[in-house]
Structure 1
Amino acid sequence: MSVSQVDLPPGYPREWEADVVLTDGGVARLRPIRPSDAQKLVAFYERVSPESKYLRFFAPYPRLSSRDVKRFTEVDYVDRVAFILTVGDEMIGVGRFDRTEDDRAEVAFLVEDAHQGRGIAQLLLEHLAEAARERGITGFVAEVLPENRRMAQVFADAGYRVSKGIEDGVLSVEFPILPTDTSVGVMERREHRAESASVHRLLHPERVVVHGPGRRVAGLVNAMLCGGFRGEVVAVSSDGVPVPGVPTATSVAMVPGRLDLAVLAVPTTELGGVVIDAAHKGAHGIVVLTGTDDRPGDNRTVVNLARAYGIRALGPDALGLINTWPLVELNATPGPMPRTGGVGLFCQSAAVGVALLNHAVRQDLGLSSFISTGDYADVTGNDVMQYWEDDDNTRVCLLALDSIGNPRKFSRITRRLTRRKPVVVLEPGRTSRSWHAGVRGGLGHAPDEAVDALFRQAGVMVVHRRGAMFDIAKIAARQPLPRGQRVRLVTNSATLAAQMEHTIGAVGLLHEESVLLRSSASPQDYVDATLAALADPRTNSVVCAAVNVYEEGTEDVITALDQIAGEGDKPLVGVFLDFHPPMVKENDVDLPGELPRFDAPVDAIHALSTLTAYAHWRERDPGAVPLLEVDTSRAKRVVNRALSGHPEGRLLNGAETTELLQAYGITMVPRFVVSSLEEAVAVAEQLGWNVVLKGTAASVRSRPDQAGVQRNLMSAEEMVHAWAQLEDLTRALGLGGDVGSVATPVVQAMAPPGVALVVTSREDAAFGPIISLGLEGIPTELLGDTVYRVPPLTTVDAAAMVRDLRAAPTLFGRHGSPGVHIAGIEDLLHRVAQLADDLPQLASVELSPCIASRDGMAVLGARIFTAPTDDRRDPLARTL
């Protein structure tokens, strides 16, 4: 179904093509119209009802003339633009705009009646608006019959400021299409609902077909039946081996009636035809369990084919999916069915999925859903998180990620989801990341430490061990979140208490006085002591640790504590040390109030510490993004001028740097490049002396002893001496030539004494801008004392950046010295964050040194590198 570049009309914008999710969870292909779509358009129009045609053209219009077809399909993609939506080979909707003025265009839509109510017009409007903005159009107009209430509502619900009027019985609508907080919020909410519905349909099928070799199909069918699937299963044996217990068919095409889900274990060469057959049977999704010999191109072919026919795809190389909800009980994997519970579990590759699913079953942890999508899947962790946010059965969200396809969207979703539900991610900082749309080069990757920090900023609990992820889930799914750091131990071992108290302190928690029971304490002793500890207002969490290496072990204690584990509003955790195999719960449902059980004290305490930090993050005020007075248009003009004629990007010169920073309220202390001693003296006299002479060439300015910086120069004699020292330094470094050319010296007024900081922004290839703060020199360069955040930067984020530095005491005053102006540092962080967020073309911004003094901030140096890249890191119009 692909079209070669040769077959495309002149000017065809292939970058506007996209797969999209409709409001009911279905998938469609959106792309600009082409002259070759003439027959599609005619067939589409014939399926449209006379009423819909009347509402579109304001008169009976039974068929399109050849002139109409030519006008509608032949556009210039500049002043006349049209998008179509297709499923398979059929067009189901079309939208267009025609420029009427330099910055205005008329917009119109037509949607096939059978597909109305699926959000198609809203999607077309979003993509038309984004294309129009790229073409310099800032507003849309439309004419609608008053009885066409559905179309009028499309404009009203878009989040734009709509003005209306009626003339000659026609409703005239006009609205600006520049994005606003309201319109962006509307699009994100629609995106959320559509993607959530899409995953919901995958997890709630009524009829499932399993297709592949007979023995493998039999195993998959048996897993479904043993799991208690409430729907109907149909088997297709590709090799003729019988599959007992369920209806069978010779092919997917021969399955009677409609299908919802196809689970496929067929060779790559057969996948195309089977996917099309499943689409014709009405399937919402496919699960491809077989791999494609690690050839990404083959994998993408499968995914693209499924999307083209309106199907969501898991795989190739997926392990499958599980929904334990009692009204579904679907196990579409080769693995065991876990307990029903409140933990959602997502991973990508089948190999990781096997390890995770086995671990969950061995830990007796109840899952709400399990989804393993494969390495090159259509369904992503972003889609699944959208579903989990709406799913009342999911209380805790676990993700083990091999890659993050759209990290900015991932960050946006997690910031919202973590405010409602705990989210644990296994090693996000070590995952591979995709490049955001439009990048043409010049961008790098953030260090792993930065990526971990970015997810913590969004409230994600980051772990680097699979066991740690499940430890957190055990507590979070069964117990309330801790409301503070104070932990009380109840145990029958003084030695164990001492070790656990040490661990509690080491992870940042506070231990209250432990309750020591006799070594032969009865279950009732534990219950009484535990209830007393939970009732103590000084206690936020209780850990019960029981040791019994003889007789019946700790089973009676576990049973007794389990009875009271759901009675309070504080978390209760059990640690049980004996030689007996762990008890298996008879209850198939893992409900809130069940006792989390551990056999390693350190695991329990680490998990409790992580949850305590998360609970504190969730309860604190997230802060607000300050409204700064900035001149974005001026800044963009600077960048556009700089990039003009430099397709690979370049370093801004001094004047450009100063103007760009001034547009965002950042004023640099004036500095003057000098090429001779005489020029240095003249500049210093102009500044009134008390100046600094410093070499800014990389080989000079990077010295840890700062030998290239001569401060507090008050006279010509001192300048002569400073110039001579700079000459000596360049000779010692083996730099040939005169100082003016090899050291790039500058003269600058002295800043007030203070602490030298480095504030940077790096445009990461996947995450967008990453802001960092550190002390200039060795603390940042060699010791790694750097903190990171991503925009938008709230007041709480900026304050935390300053305080999270290991060297923060230097800023707040120590040994009797006064602290620096903290508000000035935070203001500078906000301005750099907004500058970087507004201008993706700023590949790197480095402000160094920035002197923080008692009275404010002084920015003494800046290096800004630009790289040509698209304005859209996370496109506004919805796409997969």
Structure 2
Amino acid sequence: MTGSTAPSSPAPRTTDGGATHALLADGTTIRIRCARPEDHDAVLRLYEAMSPEYLRFRFFVASPRSAVQAAARMRGRAAPRGSTSSGAERSGYRALLAEHEGGLIGIAEYEVTGAESPAPGQVTAEIALAVADRWHHRGAGTLLLEHLVSAARADGVTAFTADALAQNHEVLKVFADLGLSTARRFEGNEVRCVVQLDQTEAYLASVEARGRTADVASLRPLLRPESVVVIGAGSKPGSVGRAVLRNLRTGGFQGRVFAVNPRSLTVLGVHAYPSVGSLPQVPDLAVLAVPADRVPDVAEECGKFGVRALLTVSSGLDAAQARGLLDACRTHGMRLAGPNCLGLANTEEGISLDATFAVTHPAPGTAGVAVQSGGVGIALLSGLARLGVGVSSFVSLGDKYDVSGNDLLQWWEGDGTTGLALLHLESFGNPRAFSRTARRVTRKLPILTVDAGRTEAGRAAAASHTAAAATRTMTRRALFAQAGITATDSVSELLEAAALLHSQPLPTGHRVAVVTNAGGAGVLAADACAEAGLGLPPLGARLIDDVLDALPDGASATNPVDATAAVSEEQLRACVDRIAESGCVDAVLVVLVPTAVAAATGDVLARSLTHAPDRRRDKTVAAVLIDQEQTVRLLPAITGTVPAYAEPQAAARALAHAVERGRWLARPSGTTPALTDVDTPRARAVAEAFLDRNPEGGWLGPGECAELLDCYGIPQLPWAWAETEDDAALAAERLKGPGGLVVLKAHWPGLLHKAEQRALHLDLRGDSQVRAAFRDLETRFGHLMTGVVVQPLAARGTELFAGVVQDEIFGPLVLFGLGGTATEVLADHAARLAPLTDHDVHDLITAPRCAPLLFGRGGGGPVDLEGLEQLLLRLSRLAGDLPQLAEADLNPVLARPERVTALDARIRLLPRHSNDPYLRQLRRLR
């Protein structure tokens, strides 16, 4: 493909030109960065080393002169050293280089041309791509193009054009497989390609699939190593390294184990070597258990020796040591778990890797576990072993410099062993990428997490209703809900839910029948179910007769079913079978208490559940055994296991989690609806013009707010701006609403809560009242006020609130709920992360407590639900299009049967650049 020397169009704005690292298809780490003038010689050597065939594919002729010209052209346009620009600000040109261990392996470049665009309003750029011969078929070219596409979007480029020889099948396949819309036009022996840069779902799915392949390949040396070395294995008891080495030796690891200790010949019977370089072979995995000040040097030594993965259990690294550790990993392509972690384990047959310093070996099983806290990790390992679930693999992420929960989800998705994923994450590096991965993985296996940090205080200096409502807890819960993750409040609750999801089929609804041998216990269980959001429907007349026929005299067959203390094992089994087979309920909860009746001991009655017939397999059944000591355990059954809880509340919580998972799985994946009448270029122009005048950012004026909302078709109440009493009177006459009434709202930069400041007047009628209201505002706020907003008095309706806040980590969060002056007091809000799908919008509208009012509860009739959905979707699109949007606050939004209208809007912008959360790149230290 060719570059272009045509004159450039005005250069679009650039993004940060810093280097980043990413994974090729085989798991190899490469470095991608912007080109600089001093890269000329390296680029020329890259071209000169290419075979004549690839040189012809690149330049259409196998001429060394073409390579010289291409390298010289890059020298004149690339950014100088120290610049964060790629040069696009000056010439519309950008070049990205791919490097491996300091050597150049590929280049991708584009130049905005003056050629006619393939479609009106498009900004096109001519691109060129070259990869060193020995790096072909490893995904280097595709990865470079993905980064070039992301950079081009940020620069305002909407399409790439490229020319290729028709026989250059490899590069044509690269374009075809990108996932972007590509058109081809054959001209003789050449092909003209036009690639649209829209970030469609198809493109994101393609990027995701490539990332998954690369990620899993890079994790194999970490989780399935054939050899391990422990560096820092002490000769005296009590050292962490010695404990890891002991667990490797006694845990049944199938590969070779080495130790590095310059002061000992052997440690725990393992021959010790004085240094990494003296090892007889290159190990796949190195465990670093050395003092913090030695970590960077040891990591560098491992990298140079060829080690492919590090597990760093060392703690206490300062910023420089942290940077040195990660730099060594990135430079030499090693994946890193930790530092400051408990270790990792893989119980798969043929692996049996226990590289932890836990007291006991993890029990083999099917739960994948990733934690940041070592203490939580030990608790989960113990709990899963006690349940008999066990673990497939366990990774203590510690300070999480590199390997994250996102990596582990992708590993578990395809490892062939894991059936349940348990996460305890205290932070998220890339929540939106995590959300995409989780949405996909959780359709295959349940993902459970402890929602850590729920008591974090809300934003103390919240400047708007939106910011005040958007606590970190709400943001995390929105992420979990949208991704289908089961979020619990404690490790105990996590294990309770895991026990049920591991052992029982999912309920198809929320209807539960409670069966008990003690009426009081049944009442407690019924209360627990109701509090958990489960329903206890009355049993049908025919089912009541069937159940009573199976039970002793004196039994009652309402719901709960009181089987009495005299019930036998056979009678209880028959009762549960008939309820389960009736189709009247989705789950059966059996609550048993010890009594003096011999036939009713807990162990005997529990057999009615564990020795159930095969025909009950498709119904969710759980038990509560009041006298058991464990919070939850799994009772062995003829087929599988049955979860037994010590209290009804625990069982009800677990059932509620299972119901929610079943509901989430039953709903098809949401889609982001297409929107009409959206003018993104004008919106960006408004934002950029404001930030040009206000480089530090700030709150938009009424006119700018109205224009931004108009760009997205968000309906607003008519308004006028008035700076004098006469202007206000004229505007009021023109805009007066029902009964001739108007509203005056004072405005000055920074005014947020007009009602609290008493900076507005309502129900104004006639010229004299309008003028008096203006004078009052002017008298009280004249030293601040820049003018007033005049609006007609709106008709009565339901006052709602809609807003967006841009979270620096999670991205834009859309909030919705009850509005008006009491919105913060009542706190009736729901939240979802943008971009919103149709399902997200439905959840937003139905989640608040005020939702019944929107559907006509109370006699007012349903509001314009379609209009409300559109408003939320358009607000989401606004937030996605403008990374500068810090806050948007629409309050109140008036909802009536015929229309939904924003009565007041406040928008704050900050000088932020776009960030592509789906770009394939490895984590960087903040």
Q: Same fold (TM over 0.5)?
A: yes
Counterparts of 1:194 and 1:329, CA distance in 2: 24
Q: Is the 8 A contact 1:761 1:836 kept in 2?
A: yes
The reply on whether 1:594 has 2:641 as its aligned counterpart is yes
Query: Compared with structure 1, are the counterparts of its residues 231 and 515 closer, same or farther at alpha carbon in structure 2 (3 Å cutoff)?
Result: farther
Confirm or deny that 1:692 pairs with 2:742: yes
Separation in 2, partners of 1:527, 1:40: 78
Q: Could you say which residue in structure 2 is the equivalent of 1:235?
A: 259
Work out whether residues 631 and 647 of structure 2, in 8 Å CA contact, stay in contact via their aligned partners in 1: no
Alignment of 1:840-851 (within 5 A): 840-851=883-894
User: Which of 183, 198, 217 is the equivalent residue of 2:218?
Assistant: 198
Structure 1's 23 and 554: CA in aligned 2 closer, same or farther, altered over 3 A?
farther
Selected match of 2:209 from 173, 189, 192: 189
Distance 1:303 1:444 in 2: 37
Corresponding position of 2:624: 575
Q: CA distance change for structure 1 residues 277 and 779 in 2, over 3 Å: closer, same or farther?
A: same
Q: Which amino acid aligns with 1:693?
A: V
Cα 1:233–1:530, aligned 2, differ >3 Å: closer, same or farther? farther
Contact 2:365 2:392 in 1 (8 A): yes
Q: Say whether the 8 Å CA contact 2:31–2:100 is kept in structure 1.
A: yes
Of 198-207 and 51-60, more deviation after overlay is shown by 51-60
What's 2:30 paired with? 28
Distance 1:101 1:227, change over 3 A: farther
Give the alignment of 1:815-826 within 5 angstroms.
815-826=858-869
What are the equivalent positions in structure 2 for 1:727-742 lying under 5 Å apart?
735=780, 737=782, 742=785
Aligned to 2:357: 334
1:378 shift after superposition = 0.5
2:178 to 158, 182, 187: 158
Distance 2:824 2:633 in 1: 52
Question: Equivalents in 1 of 2:67, 2:673: separation in Å?
Answer: 56
Contact 2:632 2:644 in 1 (8 A): no
Describe the superposition over 1:104-152 as per-residue Cα deviations: whole angstroms up to 9, x where unpaired: 5543434344443221110011122333444454443444455543222
- 1:874, CA displacement in angstroms? 1.8
Question: What does the per-residue CA deviation read over 1:559-589, in whole Å, with 9 as the maximum and x for residues that have no partner?
Answer: 67445498611222233344678999999xx
What residue number does 2:342 align with? 319
* Per-residue CA distance 1:51-76 (angstroms, 9 max, x = gap): 65565455667999988866666642
Equivalent residues in 2 for 1:412-811 (5 A)? 412-427=436-451, 430=454, 446-455=470-479, 456-511=481-536, 513-517=559-563, 519=565, 524=570, 526-548=572-594, 554-555=602-603, 561-564=609-612, 568-578=617-627, 593-629=640-676, 630-687=678-735, 690-697=740-747, 702-703=754-755, 708-711=760-763, 713=765, 715-719=766-770, 726=776, 735=780, 737=782, 742=785, 744-811=787-854
Partner of 1:140: 160
- 1:89 equivalent to 2:102? Answer yes
- Judged with a 3 Å threshold, the aligned counterparts in structure 2 of structure 1 residues 45 and 636 are, in CA distance, closer, same or farther, namely closer
Q: Which amino acid in 1 is paired with 2:422?
A: L
TM-score, with normalisation over the residues of structure 1? Answer: 0.87
In structure 1, distance between residues paired with 2:53 and 2:267: 50
Please name the residue that 1:3 is paired with.
none
| SS of residue paired to 2:717 | coil
1:443 to 1:144, Cα distance in 2 relative to 1, 3 A: farther
CA contact (8 A) 2:109 2:128 kept: yes
The C-alpha deviation readout for 1:331-390, integer Å capped at 9, x for no partner, is: 221123333332221112434433433333344432222111121421111222222333
Corresponding letter in the other structure for 1:308: T
Structure 1 residue 707 displacement after superposition: 8.9
Q: Indicate if the aligned counterparts of 1:677 and 1:723 stay in contact, CA closer than 8 A.
A: yes
Q: Distance in 1 between matches of 2:534 and 2:770?
A: 56
Greater shift, 523-532 or 663-672, is seen at 523-532
Once residues 683 and 98 of structure 1 are traced to their aligned partners in structure 2, the CA distance between those partners, rounded to angstroms, is 51
Deviates more, 1:297-306 or 1:83-92: 83-92
Superposed CA deviations along residues 822-843 of structure 1, whole A, max 9, x for unmatched, are: 3322222222121122112122
CA distance in 2, matches of 1:485, 1:584: 23
Tell me, yes or no, if the aligned pair for 1:200 and 1:387 is still in contact at 8 Å. Answer: no
2: CA distance between counterparts of 1:695 and 1:34?
54
Picking from 303, 316, 321, the partner of 1:292 is 316
SS class of match (1:151): helix
**Structure 2-normalised TM-score?**
0.83
Closer/same/farther in 2, CA of residues 69 and 444 from structure 1, 3 Å limit: farther
Matches of 1:134 and 1:768, distance apart in 2: 16
What amino acid does structure 1 have at the position aligned with 2:402?
D
Q: Which amino acid letter does the alignment assign opposite residue 153 of structure 1?
A: K
Residue pair 1:107, 1:142 contacting (<8 A) in 2 also: yes
| Cα distance change on mapping 1:646 and 1:298 into 2, 3 Å | same
CA separation of 1:505/1:445 partners in 2, compared to 1, >3 Å: closer, same or farther? Answer: closer
- Tell me which residue corresponds to 2:551: none
Q: Return the alpha-carbon distance in structure 2 between the equivalents of residues 758 and 544 of structure 1.
A: 44
Does 1:131 find its partner at 2:151? Answer: yes
CA shift in 2, pair 1:746/1:818, >3 Å: same
Structure 2 Cα separation of the partners of residues 12 and 501 of structure 1: 61
- 1:310 Cα offset (Å): 0.7
**In the aligned structure 1, how far is the partner of 2:341 from the partner of 2:387?**
23
1:858 has 2:858 as partner: no
Distance (whole Å) between structure 1 residues aligned to residue 785 and residue 730 of structure 2: 20
Asked whether the 8 Å contact 2:856–2:862 carries over to 1, the reply is yes
How far off is 1:718 after superposition? 4.6
CA distance in 1, matches of 2:197, 2:850: 47
Structure-1 separation of matches of 2:397 and 2:304: 23
Q: Distance in 2 between matches of 1:396 and 1:594?
A: 16
Residue 345 of structure 1 aligns to which amino acid in structure 2?
V
The residue that corresponds to 1:7 in the other structure is: none
Q: CA deviation at 1:490?
A: 3.6
SS in 2 for 1:421: coil
Letter in 2 for 1:324: T
What is the correspondence of 1:14-93 to structure 2 with a 5 Å cutoff?
15-34=17-36, 37=39, 52=54, 55-56=57-58, 75-76=77-78, 77-78=86-87, 79=91, 80-93=93-106
In the alignment, is residue 222 of structure 1 matched against residue 242 of structure 2? no
Q: Bigger shift: 758-767 or 867-876?
A: 867-876
Greater Cα shift, 153-162 or 423-432: 423-432
Measured against aligned partners, the alpha-carbon deviations of 1:754-799 in whole angstroms (never above 9, x if no partner) come to 1222221112222222222233335412121122222222333223
Q: Report how far residue 200 of structure 1 moved.
A: 4.4
Note the aligned Cα RMSD (angstroms): 3.8
Question: Residue 693 of structure 2: SS of its match in structure 1?
Answer: coil
Counterpart residue identity of residue 763, structure 2: R
Q: Percent same amino acid at aligned positions? A: 31
Whole-angstrom distance in 2 between the partners of 1:68 and 1:826? 52
Q: Aligned equivalents of 1:854 and 1:69: distance in 2?
A: 65
What corresponds to 2:229 in structure 1?
A: 209
User: What is the CA deviation profile of residues 794-836 of structure 1, one whole-angstrom value per residue up to 9, with x for unaligned ones?
Assistant: 3332233233222234434455444433332222222212112
Listed one character per residue, the Cα deviations across residues 295-335 of structure 1 (whole Å, up to 9, x for unaligned) are: 24422331232012111101111222222222322222112
Number of equivalences? 850
Q: Distance in 1 between matches of 2:823 and 2:799?
A: 11
Cα distance, 1:700–1:241 mapped onto 2, change above 3 Å? closer
CA contact (8 A) 1:444 1:764 kept: no
Label 1:691 to 1:591 Cα distance change in 2 as closer, same or farther (>3 A): farther
Cα 1:709/1:620, change in 2 over 3 Å:
farther
